[in-house]
Amino acid sequence: MIQIQNLAFSYGTKEVLRNISMKLEPGKIYGLLGENGVGKTTLLTLLCGLKKAQAGSISVDGHIPFNRQPLLLQDQYYLPDEVAPLSDKAISWGRATGKFWPHFSLDKYEAILKEFEVQTDQKMNAMSAGQLKKTYIAFALASGVRYLYLDEPTNGLDIPSKAQFRSALMKYTSEDATIVISTHQVRDLENIIDPIIILDTHEVLLNASLEQIADKLYFDYGTTLHHESLYSEQLPGGFIQVLSNTQGRDSKVNIEALFNTVHKHKELVKKLFSNE
């Protein structure tokens, strides 16, 4: 269990996070959304202990991440957006680096690389950007950790590779893992991320499961424009609209429309989900 309490962080005089509080539970894949500069990457690096909270606290199973205790380090993995093109073959790098994670599986790493169509004997600095990214993703998934933090993992991947990533994420991570994925590419991940966290400047606008979101908001995919809609966007053949779900109707959450609704009606959405 990850517990974040009144967390704050600044870069000099630039305040990024202020009074952030939330719980992240095992067995869930959290989608961390937000505009550029709101602190998504900063939050991930605080969670894994690469940065120190300047106020408030982060506790991961009772451990403070910044203390860098081996017991926690061996059970977490952070994959940044940009990865290093090392002068080493994928297989030999994985074999050597995997020794730092007790639950790392070389067999699983090789299996994922094969599914990703990455040659294990190819040097990483000779790979394309997409192949290099998939190599690091394969290692992250094979690490066997219970806390996995992925920053924009689908950046640089082509359409088939994004499908491979989604499949591998569901196949090779444990049911009790806590996974946090920061992304701008919500369409790449909308079928696997749940709950949804939306960060704004200095605060959390939303932290709710898809079930909770669908209970509060109704997503209409019709041809009639509703004047009471909180958000609407014209699509070929009709509209996607978001309305308050006052009648308890079922609908499929559209994460892009949700994101735009939340940013258009920040205070209303926070009030709507304040009891969740």
Amino acid at 263: H
**Each residue's pLDDT tens digit, 46-55:** 999 999 999 9
Sorted by where each begins, the domain ranges of the chain are 2-205, 209-272
Q: What span, in angstroms and rounded, lies between the C-alpha atoms of 166 and 54?
A: 35
Q: Which residue has the higher pLDDT, 37 or 144?
A: 144
Give the Cα-Cα-Cα angle 191, 34, 62 (nearest 5 degrees).
Answer: 85
Say which residues have a Cβ less than 8 Å from residue 120's Cβ, sequence separation at least 6: 89, 90, 91, 110, 113, 114
- Minimal CA–CA distance to 254: which of 230, 224, 220, 225? 220
Judged against a pLDDT cut of 90, whether residue 190 lies above it is answered with: no
pLDDT more than 70, % of the chain: 99
**Each residue's pLDDT tens digit, 10-22:** 999 999 999 899 9
- Minimal CA–CA distance to 147: which of 256, 69, 54? 69
Q: How many Å from the N-terminal Cα to the C-terminal Cα in the chain?
A: 18
- CATH architecture entry for 2-205: 3-Layer(aba) Sandwich (3.40)
**Each residue's pLDDT tens digit, 96-115:** 999 999 999 999 999 999 99
Q: What span, in angstroms and rounded, lies between the C-alpha atoms of 222 and 252?
A: 13
Contact between 127 and 20 under an 8 Å Cβ cutoff? The reply is no
**Each residue's pLDDT tens digit, 223-268:** 988 999 999 999 898 999 999 999 999 999 999 999 999 999 999 9
- The predicted model gives 175-189 an average pLDDT of 93
Q: Which residue has the higher pLDDT, 27 or 237?
A: 27
Judged against a pLDDT cut of 60, whether residue 276 lies above it is answered with: no
- At 136, is the secondary structure helix, strand, or coil? helix
> What pLDDT does residue 214 have?
97
What are phi and psi for residue 23, nearest 5 degrees?
A: -120, 135
Q: What span, in angstroms and rounded, lies between the C-alpha atoms of 260 and 276?
A: 20
Neighbouring CB atoms inside 10 A of 72's CB total: 20
pLDDT averaged over every residue in the chain: 95
> DSSP assignment, residue 12?
T
H/E stretch holding 20 reads strand 14-24
What are phi and psi for residue 265, nearest 5 degrees?
A: -135, 65
Least confident of 86-90, 130-134, 197-201: 197-201
